[in-house]
């Protein structure tokens, strides 16, 4: 692959960002990011979760208005772009969650914005299919993808190529690809790489965001590393190596953030998962969780972390396999799991964690009403003390039980979610992305609480894509690859590289589907 | 050097619309307090243009109408709080009255009441199952039920209602208790029970949780489907109760009876601050909405206007209230 | 290009597999036409008057009003909304046009201007619905429900009794024939054809699908969501107005009870024809099937002399069975 990365291309800069600033509610998401993209290059953008990659992308596509800095593109300099401007300037995005209409044919999805018109003001469907075919041919996918097929009948990899074709149909010459490989099964990866190279050779500039370092070396010409909303460095890929990148990406003092390791021996088995299969996503998962341990669940996007987390509390359709709570086979419904003391703290707080229109008191007591009842009645004075205690205990700010949960910051919302479940005295807590979108201070408080709870004999599963967090908190780490268990690492064995190796390139472990 | 992007100005009420917090707060308060404020306004207007409105006989009529619509609207509000809607209340209401009146001759009043309530509960159960388990859009499921129940009533009565309204119904509807008619007392009792349940019991919390965020409610271990189904059953049973009060009040049963109660119950609930997105609204607001709507409808009569202005009035109230609540929800959820 | 895209596709996907895919994606449509054939079979078995040319032509003519409403309703349903005001729009247009005919002494010269006026009223009311819905972010069916009550009041204010004085020339809209085929049946066939082209080949038509499929994706694809929505409501109202004008020719009087219950039938026709009530999915060909099925059913009932009361019960039962066969959003109608 070296020949393709070392090909000389024209070096005209087609997009340049200078000193971009963006804050959200006092938190600096971007503090002075500079970045440039040349014609005919694949420019990789790497960084940990929360480093500011997606904020940067949204600034380029006009979804966010930056607080400072300038964007130079298409011969003009702008303080901000609107989505329409960005599109007209030839900026196209291939999002991670696809923007295709599943019930429409491929060709129509590609030309949704600008269908070729024929006689009588009608869309020329034949021409549309032909043009779609030509675009797919450019991407080398014309043999697999029928322009007339409905998008819902395509595989994820094929949908991604349609998504790329759609961006091209809008005349994009700056293509932003947001973790395109994260959702792909490994067998589709080579096809994607081919497409990206073909586009680069046509002279497009491609911003390629990825977590997988090995594909950066295979694909990219240059790489920019972001950390904590700042550019660390931009380097030629040929002049760097994996260790170098990892050092630039991480390099944070872990000890400050994470509480000391567990001091107790793991106790009895609380949760026993045997041969768990969930349709199309999760296959033959086996593991146990013991009292007092924190088990990390790592894996790339689409590896089945969230699905397993949901399955453990009866929120996913289990095809086969068995889940036992405390040695007893469990009745898998959300209500019975909560009663048994197995609870899930979900990734998406707004959708599944809190009732945003209601007060903190309402949210915290919601699963705990039976223990607060007196004569089958819930009186405010009976709620008050436990709620105040829970709020103080977790340091929810502002510490007002009557405030709507929707008005709190992300970190404090997560504390409220935690508070409500701690009050329920669960035996197993499953965290899914416990600190996504949370500022550093709140993060460390949540980690401290997590460790405290586990020291009291609660079993904790932590599914997370944030590797430092997985490393900092877990007593042992289960790594998933495409819905299968790729391996288990003890605290001593674990490192970012070791996890990545299992998560991204686990072919030899029999994980190829 | 730096050129700011020029966005094209076009006439669009809300493009680039950034409301101030005060404006959002204002709309929120307006949504919550629209009904009580309007009641005062309408009273003042009535005092000026139609003093006959305050005639005791007219007030008694208003009270009974408030009670009937109030009972039905309590049910409708419960369903709306759960992000559902019930378009079948008018048919259920009429069916209940027909059952009680037609079976009166042959059997005791108790058995016909039990029969009516059982049928209502079944209809509510069916509505709830369609919405919760089959994920049919609530409007369609309950509208289908409206047609079905309406057809069942027509088939049962062969298109003509006969029989007399039992004395018992006359009693619970129009018999004066002190100054107030019995129906109003029934409404107050139902209100007290429902308000107590919503405030002080698990079920009440669950209703607001399910309406506010069904996803979070499910994660919290609440049986979301069951809560939704219960609300539908309660709504149908309350509709039957409304039908009994109504037939007791008008003293007969006819084919057009109760046809407007879908419209009015939804309009009253929405005017009272309940939103269609669930989880927002309460019974005090609903009571105010009911009183306001009945006052407006009654004013049409008192002023001697043609009766069809009532329809226009209902429509206007619903459109304005829906627009206000929709806009409020939009602002609050930004 | 050595191979055209047709060539590759023929070699890539075996014919039987394409057939399976087609059947799966169009199950609702296949099912409804199967039902239609079964119904025709049953009908001709029970009554020898059923499968005659004159009865079939009659059925087609009977289907026109429902067809017009269902085409308009389909546009709105595809956006994920609903238009409850259709029958009141139809009625209003009929009443206004009839009133103006009567006022101008049944002058045949007025026919064309009044047809234009009726259509314009449809456009205006559609704009009202569409703008209310897009500007206030309110729930479509409630807004249109409120508007329908408003219009009901206005309709009754115009007249509570049938309005006479329609010029005879106007009635030819209903009566004129080529051979034994009424002209309006031919025109309606053309309308269906245009609707077919509109939904499959026009930009607006496809944008309606895109908006109903996902507003977010439509926005990201630079489709003007609000404008598309307003257009859908305008189309719905215009078709309702056309239905009103046609009804006027059929009955020969401005009828204050015209189109009773037709909105619901139009929604049912579209829904059983596979138009998803969540929007974005379905084909106008399915709507046609739904319209034919409902019309055939009612014709069949009449031939079998089934009591009108049972007809409504049956319609309700069909709706409930159809909607309980409804799966969640992912699986679509039926």
Does B198 contact A at CB distance below 8 Å? Answer: no
The DSSP call for residue A29 is E
Structure tokens at B317: 């109230």
Residue of C nearest to A120 (CA): C202
Residue spans of the domains in chain A: they are 286-509
Q: Mean pLDDT across the stretch A317-333?
A: 82
| Domain covering A286-509, topology | Rossmann fold (3.40.50)
Name the most confidently modeled range: A70-74, A170-174, B235-239, C108-112.
Answer: B235-239
Q: Do C141 and B159 lie within an 8 Å CB cutoff?
A: no
Query: How long a stretch of residues is chain C?
Result: 334
- Could you tell me if residue C10 is inside a domain? no
* Cis peptide, bond prior to residue A86, ω within 30 of zero: no
Of B150, B158, B312, the CB nearest to C153: B312
pLDDT digits (tens, 9 = 90+) for C247-300: 999 988 888 888 888 898 898 889 888 888 888 888 999 999 999 998 998 888
Burial class for C57, CB neighbours closer than 10 Å (0-12, 13-18, 19+): middle
Of A77, A344, A362, the CB nearest to B205: A362
Q: Mean pLDDT across the stretch B143-151?
A: 88
Residue of A nearest to C224 (CA): A113
Q: Is the pLDDT of residue A9 over 50?
A: no
pLDDT digits (tens, 9 = 90+) for B319-334: 888 888 888 877 776 6
Name the most confidently modeled range: A178-192, A237-251, A304-318.
Answer: A304-318
Does A378 contact B at CB distance below 8 Å? Answer: yes
**CA atoms of B155 and B150, how far apart (whole Å):** 9
Total domains in the fold of chain C? 1
Q: Is the pLDDT of residue A439 over 80?
A: no
Q: Mean pLDDT across the stretch A199-219?
A: 84
Chain B residues touching residue C271 (CB < 8 angstroms): 140
Q: What are the two backbone dihedrals, phi and then psi, of residue B299, each rounded to the nearest 5 degrees?
A: -60, -35
Going across the sheet that includes A222-227, the strands are A91-94, A174-178, A205-209, A42-46, A222-227, A230-236
Residue C293, domain extent: 46-324
**CA atoms of A366 and A410, how far apart (whole Å):** 20
Residue A255 is predicted with a pLDDT of 52
**CA atoms of C227 and C219, how far apart (whole Å):** 11
Chain A residues touching residue B205 (CB < 8 angstroms): 362, 365-366, 369, 378
Chain B residues touching residue A353 (CB < 8 angstroms): 216, 219
Name the most confidently modeled range: A180-184, B39-43, B310-314.
Answer: B39-43
Among A156, C137, A177, CA closest to B325: C137
Residue A395 is predicted with a pLDDT of 82
Of B147, B267, B317, the CB nearest to C316: B147
- Could you tell me if residue C102 is inside a domain? yes
- Could you tell me if residue C22 is inside a domain? no
Residue B8 is predicted with a pLDDT of 32
Q: Mean pLDDT across the stretch C96-106?
A: 89
Among C155, C23, C137, C38, CA closest to C85: C155
Q: Is the pLDDT of residue B227 over 50?
A: yes
Residue A333 is predicted with a pLDDT of 82
Residue of A nearest to B211 (CA): A355
Of C8, C202, C223, the CB nearest to A122: C202
Q: Mean pLDDT across the stretch A131-135?
A: 89
Q: Is the pLDDT of residue B7 over 50?
A: no
Q: Do C320 and B144 lie within an 8 Å CB cutoff?
A: yes
Does A372 contact B at CB distance below 8 Å? Answer: no
Q: Mean pLDDT across the stretch A250-264?
A: 67
The band of A5, judged by pLDDT with boundaries at 50, 70 and 90, is very low
Q: Do C149 and B326 lie within an 8 Å CB cutoff?
A: no
pLDDT digits (tens, 9 = 90+) for C162-195: 888 888 888 888 888 888 888 899 999 999 999 9
How close C22 comes to chain A (CA, Å)? 10
Does A16 contact B at CB distance below 8 Å? Answer: no
**DSSP letters spanning B237-253:** HHHHHHHHHHHHHHSS-
SS3 A276: strand
A277 and A321 in contact (C-beta within 8 Å)?
yes
| Residue C144 vs residues B314, B320, C128, C156: alpha-carbon distances, Å | 13, 12, 9, 18
Instruction: Tell me which of C294, C323, C333 to substitute to probe the interface with B (most B C-beta atoms closer than 10 Å).
Output: C323
Q: How far is CA C49 from the centre of its chain?
A: 27
The band of C327, judged by pLDDT with boundaries at 50, 70 and 90, is low
Chain C residues touching residue A92 (CB < 8 angstroms): none
Q: Do B220 and A85 lie within an 8 Å CB cutoff?
A: no
The band of B161, judged by pLDDT with boundaries at 50, 70 and 90, is low
Of C5, C8, C210, the CB nearest to A101: C210
Chain C residues touching residue B330 (CB < 8 angstroms): 136-137
Q: Is pLDDT larger for residue C24 or for residue C71? A: C71
Helices (H), B50-88: 56-81
* Out of A81-85, B192-196, C232-236, least confident range: A81-85
Q: How far is CA A302 from the centre of its chain?
A: 9
How close B103 comes to chain A (CA, Å)? 38
Residue A411 is predicted with a pLDDT of 80
CATH of the domain at C236: 1.10.3470
| Orientation of helix B309-332 relative to helix B283-302, angle to 10° | 150
Q: Do A101 and C209 lie within an 8 Å CB cutoff?
A: yes
Does C213 contact A at CB distance below 8 Å? Answer: yes
pLDDT digits (tens, 9 = 90+) for B308-322: 888 888 888 888 888
| Orientation of helix C111-136 relative to helix B309-332, angle to 10° | 40
**CA atoms of A80 and A21, how far apart (whole Å):** 11
Q: What are the two backbone dihedrals, phi and then psi, of residue C304, each rounded to the nearest 5 degrees?
A: -80, -5
Q: Is pLDDT larger for residue A75 or for residue B292? A: B292
The band of C86, judged by pLDDT with boundaries at 50, 70 and 90, is very high
Q: Do B202 and A369 lie within an 8 Å CB cutoff?
A: yes
- Three-state SS letters, A154-210: CCHHHHHHHHHHHHHHCCCCEEEEECHHHHCCHHHHHHHHHHHHHHHHCCCEEEEEC
Residue B105 is predicted with a pLDDT of 60
Contacts with C269 (C-beta within 8 Å, 6 or more apart), sequence order: C66, C70, C73, C287, C290, C291, C293, C294
Half-sphere exposure of B298 (CA within 13 A, CB side): 26
Contacts with B277 (C-beta within 8 Å, 6 or more apart), sequence order: B83, B329, B333
Q: Is the pLDDT of residue A79 over 70?
A: yes
Neighbours of C76 (CB within 10 A): 35
Chain A residues touching residue C286 (CB < 8 angstroms): none
**CA atoms of C168 and B75, how far apart (whole Å):** 51
Q: Given the DSSP bridges, would you call strands B180-181 and B176-177 parallel, antiparallel or unpaired?
A: antiparallel
**CA atoms of A235 and C195, how far apart (whole Å):** 57
- Secondary element (H or E) of residue C244: helix C225-251
A346 and A363 in contact (C-beta within 8 Å)?
no
Structure tokens at A255: 């000890």
Q: What are the two backbone dihedrals, phi and then psi, of residue B176, each rounded to the nearest 5 degrees?
A: -75, 135
Chain C residues touching residue B31 (CB < 8 angstroms): none
Residue B248 is predicted with a pLDDT of 85
Q: Is the pLDDT of residue A512 over 60?
A: no
Residue spans of the domains in chain B: they are 68-260+274-282
How close A346 comes to chain B (CA, Å)? 8
- Could you tell me if residue C31 is inside a domain? no
> Max alpha carbon distance in chain C (Å)?
72
The DSSP call for residue A348 is -
Q: Do A334 and B202 lie within an 8 Å CB cutoff?
A: no
- Could you tell me if residue C41 is inside a domain? no
Q: How far is CA B148 from the centre of its chain?
A: 21
The band of A25, judged by pLDDT with boundaries at 50, 70 and 90, is low
The DSSP call for residue A116 is P
Q: What's the N-to-C CA distance of chain A in angstroms?
A: 25
**CA atoms of B286 and B303, how far apart (whole Å):** 26
The band of C328, judged by pLDDT with boundaries at 50, 70 and 90, is very low
How close B63 comes to chain C (CA, Å)? 24
Q: How far is CA B187 from the centre of its chain?
A: 13
């Amino acid at each position: 692959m070296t020949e393709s990365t070392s090909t000389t291309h024209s070096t005209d800069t087609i997009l340049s960002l200078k000193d971009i600033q963006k804050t959200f509610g006092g938190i600096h998401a971007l503090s002075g990011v500079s970045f440039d993209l040349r014609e005919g290059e694949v420019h990789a953008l790497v960084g940990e979760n929360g480093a500011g990659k997606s904020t940067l992308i949204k600034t380029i596509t006009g979804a966010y208005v930056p607080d400072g800095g300038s964007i130079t593109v298409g011969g003009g300099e702008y303080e901000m772009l609107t989505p329409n401007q960005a599109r007209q300037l030839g900026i196209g995005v291939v999002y991670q969650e696809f923007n295709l209409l599943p019930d429409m044919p491929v060709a129509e999805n590609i030309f949704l914005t600008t269908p070729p018109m024929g006689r009588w003001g009608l869309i020329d469907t034949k021409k549309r299919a032909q043009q779609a075919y030509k675009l797919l041919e450019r991407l080398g996918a014309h043999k697999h993808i029928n322009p007339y097929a409905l998008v819902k009948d395509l595989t994820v990899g094929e949908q991604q190529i349609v998504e790329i074709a759609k961006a091209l149909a809008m005349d994009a010459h700056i293509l932003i690809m947001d973790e395109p490989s994260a959702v792909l099964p490994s067998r589709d990866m080579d096809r994607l790489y081919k497409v990206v190279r073909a586009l680069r050779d046509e002279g497009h500039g491609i911003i390629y965001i990825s977590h997988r370092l090995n594909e950066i070396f295979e694909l990219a010409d240059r790489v920019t590393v972001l950390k904590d909303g700042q550019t660390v460095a931009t380097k030629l890929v040929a002049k760097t190596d994996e260790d170098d990148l990892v050092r630039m990406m991480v390099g944070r003092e872990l000890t400050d953030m994470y509480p000391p390791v567990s001091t107790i021996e793991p106790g009895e088995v609380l949760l026993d998962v045997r041969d768990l299969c969930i349709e199309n996503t999760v296959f033959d998962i086996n593991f146990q969780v013991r009292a007092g341990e924190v088990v990390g669940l790592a894996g790339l996007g689409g590896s089945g972390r969230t699905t397993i987390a949901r399955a453990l509390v009866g929120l996913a359709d289990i095809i086969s396999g068995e889940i036992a709570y405390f040695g007893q086979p469990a009745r898998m419904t959300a209500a019975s799991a909560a009663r048994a003391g197995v609870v899930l703290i979900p990734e998406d707080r707004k959708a599944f964690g809190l009732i945003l229109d209601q007060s903190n008191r309402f949210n915290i007591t919601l699963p705990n009403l039976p223990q607060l009842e007196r004569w089958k009645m819930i009186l405010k004075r009976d709620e008050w003390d436990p709620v105040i205690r829970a709020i103080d205990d977790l340091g929810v700010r502002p510490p007002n039980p009557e405030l709507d949960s929707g008005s709190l910051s992300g970190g404090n919302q997560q504390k409220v979610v935690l508070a409500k479940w701690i009050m329920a005295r669960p035996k197993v807590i499953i965290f899914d992305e416990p600190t996504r979108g949370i500022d550093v201070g709140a993060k460390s408080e949540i980690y401290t609480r997590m460790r405290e709870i586990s020291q009291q004999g609660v079993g904790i599963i932590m599914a997370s894509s944030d590797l430092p967090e997985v490393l900092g908190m877990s007593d042992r780490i289960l790594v998933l690859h495409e819905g299968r268990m790729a391996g288990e690492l003890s605290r001593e064995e674990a490192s970012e590289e070791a996890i990545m190796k299992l998560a991204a390139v686990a072919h030899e472990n029999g994980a190829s589907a | 050097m730096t050129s700011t992007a020029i966005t094209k100005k076009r006439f669009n009420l809300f493009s680039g619309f950034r409301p101030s917090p005060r404006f959002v707060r204002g709309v929120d308060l307006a949504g919550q307090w629209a009904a009580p404020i309007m009641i005062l306004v309408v009273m003042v207007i009535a005092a000026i243009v139609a003093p006959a409105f305050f005639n005791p006989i007219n007030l008694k009529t208003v009270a009974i109408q408030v009670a009937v619509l109030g009972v039905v609207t309590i049910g409708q509000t419960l369903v709306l709080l759960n992000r559902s809607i019930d378009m079948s209340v008018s048919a259920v209401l009429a069916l209940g009255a027909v059952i009680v009146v037609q079976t009166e001759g042959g059997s005791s009043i108790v058995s016909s009441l039990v029969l009516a309530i059982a049928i209502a509960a079944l209809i509510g159960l069916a509505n709830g199952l369609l919405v919760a388990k089959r994920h049919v859009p609530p409007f369609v499921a309950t509208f289908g039920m409206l047609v079905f129940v309406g057809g069942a009533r027509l088939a049962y009565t062969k298109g003509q209602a006969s029989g007399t309204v039992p004395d018992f119904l006359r009693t619970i509807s129009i018999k004066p208790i002190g100054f107030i008619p019995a129906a109003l007392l029934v409404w107050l009792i139902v209100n007290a029970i429902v308000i107590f349940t919503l405030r002080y019991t698990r079920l009440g919390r669950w209703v607001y949780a399910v309406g506010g965020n069904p996803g979070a409610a499910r994660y919290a271990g609440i049986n979301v489907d069951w809560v939704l189904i219960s609300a539908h059953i309660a709504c149908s049973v309350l509709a039957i109760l409304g039908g009994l009060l109504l037939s007791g009040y008008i003293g007969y049963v006819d084919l057009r009876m109760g046809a407007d109660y879908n419209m009015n119950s939804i309009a009253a609930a929405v005017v009272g601050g309940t939103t269609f997105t669930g989880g927002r609204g309460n019974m005090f607001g609903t009571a105010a909405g009911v009183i306001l709507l009945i006052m407006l409808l009654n004013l049409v009569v008192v002023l001697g206007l043609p009766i069809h202005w009532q329809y226009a009035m209902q429509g206007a109230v619903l459109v304005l209230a829906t627009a206000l609540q929709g806009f409020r929800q939009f602002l609050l959820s930004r | 290009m050595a191979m055209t895209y047709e060539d590759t596709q023929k070699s890539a996907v075996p014919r039987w597999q394409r057939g399976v895919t087609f059947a799966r994606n169009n199950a609702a449509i296949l099912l409804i036409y199967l039902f239609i054939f079964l119904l025709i079979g049953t009908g001709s078995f029970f009554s020898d008057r059923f499968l005659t040319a004159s009865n079939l032509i009659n059925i087609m003519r009977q289907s026109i009003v429902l067809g017009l409403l269902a085409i308009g309703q389909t546009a709105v349903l595809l956006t994920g909304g609903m238009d409850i005001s259709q029958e009141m729009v139809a009625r209003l247009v009929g009443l206004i046009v009839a009133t103006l005919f009567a006022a101008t002494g049944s002058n045949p010269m007025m026919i064309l201007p009044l047809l234009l006026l009726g259509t314009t009223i449809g456009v205006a009311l559609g704009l009202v619905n569409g703008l209310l819905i897009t500007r206030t972010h309110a729930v479509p069916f409630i807004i249109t429900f409120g508007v329908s009550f408003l219009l009901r009041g206005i309709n009754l204010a115009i007249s509570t009794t049938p309005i006479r004085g329609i010029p005879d020339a106007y009635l030819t809209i209903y009566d004129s024939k080529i051979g034994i085929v009424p002209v309006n049946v031919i025109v309606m066939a053309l309308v269906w054809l245009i609707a077919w082209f509109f939904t499959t080949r026009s930009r607006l038509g496809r944008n309606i699908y895109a908006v109903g499929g996902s507003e977010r994706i439509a926005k990201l694809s630079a489709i003007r969501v609000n404008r598309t929505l307003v257009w859908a409501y305008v189309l719905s109202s215009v078709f309702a107005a056309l239905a009103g004008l046609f009804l006027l020719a059929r009955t020969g009087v401005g009828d204050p009870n015209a189109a009773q219950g037709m909105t619901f039938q139009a929604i049912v026709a579209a829904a059983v024809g596979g138009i998803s009530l969540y929007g974005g999915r379905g084909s106008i060909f399915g709507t046609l099937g739904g319209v034919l099925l409902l019309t055939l059913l009612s014709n069949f009932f009449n031939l079998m002399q089934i009591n009108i009361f049972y007809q409504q019960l049956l319609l309700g039962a069909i709706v409930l069975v159809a909607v309980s066969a409804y799966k969640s959003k992912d699986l679509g109608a039926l």
